[in-house]
Amino acid sequence: MSLRGFHILFVMATVSLSGFFAYWAYQQYQLTASPSYLWSMIGSLLVGVGFIVYGIMFAKKVKD
């Protein structure tokens, strides 16, 4: 696997983990109604969207 392929795989894994964390934080927010879980969910979703944008920009930059 090339460094480019590994980088894209790592970005995809980061987006997936961010999504799972957002889902977990949402479930915890429903159980406890603590604003910290709500903010954690929002932050995780923003990080996930940021990594999606970064991954698209990276893929366009290194396209052969």
pTM, whole model, 2 decimals? 0.83
Give the total number of structural domains in the chain. Answer: 1
What is the rounded average pLDDT of the residues 43-51? 97
What is the rounded average pLDDT of the residues 37-55? 96
pLDDT at 64 over 80: no
DSSP secondary structure string for all residues of 37-63 = HHHHHHHHHHHHHHHHHHHHHHHHHT-
What is the band of 21 on the pLDDT scale with cuts at 50, 70, 90? very high
pLDDT at 27: 97
State the residue range of the domain holding 44: 3-61
Angle between helices 35-61 and 3-32 (to 10 degrees): 160
CB 41 within 8 A of CB 15: no
pLDDT at 32 over 90: yes
Which of 43, 2, 10 has its CA nearest to residue 24? Answer: 43
Cα–Cα distance for residue pair 48/30, rounded to 1 Å: 21
